[in-house]
């Protein structure tokens, strides 16, 4: 499969040279006014960049999520892994994963002990919506000339140090055992790394677990509960979510993006593996009423292109649709651990923009 047709690059200029931000970009979305919003898996904030012409985004502004939704605490990371704009809201999702401490390579015995230590930051179980008005995140605003009422910031109901989604999945026949064992994300444990939203439908892509080569996309809906709170909606017969199993060549989901009723799936290695990454198209994703399983022989799941790959760097992490060179919808990709060639100066990083192949 050939690499994607690289149309252009965009330069993202920040007001900081922090490596926790520029080298850890994990999510991106674009709002209709042209602003880019990015998140880092090391931060508790969203970053807004404004288009300033010639493929450059600057005028960096930071928004602290604690000012808009309830977090479990104001210190630990959210591990932001997905952003998506839909109908006046930016949606943000954390990894929902536990983590194992890393070996630092200094003292062998200490490293052995560190590898036995598993922890969970409650802030990682964040699924939230944030109203956006004139390039600003706001707690709420009224929509003029509509019957939809106010748009309000809210997050999924907190339960027992996590949220209602993890509570519901705890007894799932496929995912429950991984959650009950507390397997860390980098050990093929539960790990959300993508979100796509269409009206009332929310799709969450799992980097892990991958089950005998099958990746999983969760589909759910939410509705308003108490002020500032979202609750899972019953999809019928007490079902709070659906599961879609995808044959991604043994890879997990690293990000999602909706395009013309199809789900664009960024697939890459699960755990800590290094490997090539691919873009898939999962067709007609909006009309399922039950769990599904899709092989590449189904005609509904196809590889679009391979992404450029360098061992140790350029890990594709975030997707959003942007206009580029006359194409209404092209695909912008931001990278975690960007290669040195992607860093033109201390406060800037390049994102790639790919042509989207047409359907067969």
Q: What CATH number has the domain bearing residue 311?
A: 2.115.10
The boundaries of the domain holding residue 102 are 6-354
pLDDT for residue 283 is more than 90: yes
Q: Quote the pLDDT of residue 301.
A: 97
Q: Quote the pLDDT of residue 146.
A: 61
CB atoms within 10 A of CB 166: 19
Q: Quote the pLDDT of residue 2.
A: 58
pLDDT digits (tens, 9 = 90+) for 56-92: 999 999 999 999 999 999 999 999 999 999 999 999 9
Instruction: Provide the domain count of the chain.
Output: 1
Quick one: average pLDDT of 263-274?
A: 95
pLDDT digits (tens, 9 = 90+) for 305-321: 999 888 999 999 999 99
359 occurs within a structural domain: no
- pTM of the entire structure? 0.96
> Hey, is 165 helix, strand or coil?
helix
Question: 209 preceded by cis ω (within 30°)?
Answer: yes
Mean of all residue pLDDT scores within the chain: 95
Q: How far apart are CA 55 and CA 279, in angstroms?
A: 23
pLDDT digits (tens, 9 = 90+) for 129-166: 999 999 999 999 987 766 567 999 999 999 999 999 99
Q: Quote the pLDDT of residue 149.
A: 73
360 occurs within a structural domain: no
175 occurs within a structural domain: yes
244 occurs within a structural domain: yes
89 occurs within a structural domain: yes
pLDDT for residue 24 is more than 70: yes
1 occurs within a structural domain: no
- Show Cβ contacts of residue 236 under 8 Å, excluding neighbours closer than 6 positions: 289
């Amino acid at each position: 499969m050939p690499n994607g047709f690289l149309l252009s690059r965009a330069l993202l200029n920040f007001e900081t040279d922090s490596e926790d931000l520029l080298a850890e970009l994990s999510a991106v979305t674009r709002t209709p006014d042209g602003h880019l919003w990015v998140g880092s898996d090391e931060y508790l904030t969203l970053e807004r960049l404004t288009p300033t012409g010639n493929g450059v985004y600057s005028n960096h502004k930071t928004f602290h999520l604690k000012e808009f939704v309830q977090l479990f605490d104001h210190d630990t990371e959210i591990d932001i892994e997905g952003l998506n704009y839909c109908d006046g809201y930016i949606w943000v999702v954390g990894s929902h994963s536990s983590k194992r401490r890393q070996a630092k390579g200094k003292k062998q015995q200490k490293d052995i002990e560190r590898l036995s230590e598993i922890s969970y930051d409650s802030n990682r179980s964040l699924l939230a919506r944030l109203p956006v008005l004139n390039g600003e995140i706001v707690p709420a605003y009224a929509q003029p000339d509509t019957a939809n009422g106010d748009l309000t910031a809210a997050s999924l109901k907190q339960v027992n140090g996590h949220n209602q989604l993890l509570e519901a999945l705890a007894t799932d026949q496929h995912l429950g055992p991984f959650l009950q064992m507390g397997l860390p994300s980098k050990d093929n444990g539960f790990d959300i790394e993508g979100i796509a939203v269409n009206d009332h439908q929310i799709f969450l892509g799992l980097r892990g677990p991958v089950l005998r080569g099958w990746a999983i996309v969760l589909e759910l809906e939410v509705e308003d509960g108490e002020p500032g709170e979202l609750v899972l909606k019953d999809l019928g017969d007490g079902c709070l979510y659906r599961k879609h199993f995808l044959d991604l060549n043994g890879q997990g989901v690293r990000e999602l993006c909706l395009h013309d009723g199809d789900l664009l799936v960024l697939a890459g290695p699960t755990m800590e593996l290094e490997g090539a990454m691919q873009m898939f198209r999962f067709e007609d994703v909006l009309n399922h009423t039950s769990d599904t399983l899709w092989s590449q022989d189904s005609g509904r799941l196809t590889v679009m292109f391979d992404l450029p790959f360098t061992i140790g760097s350029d890990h594709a992490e975030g997707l959003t649709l942007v206009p580029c060179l006359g194409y209404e919808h092209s695909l912008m990709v931001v990278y975690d651990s960007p290669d040195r060639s992607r860093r033109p100066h201390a406060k800037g990083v390049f994102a790639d923009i790919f042509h989207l192949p047409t359907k067969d």
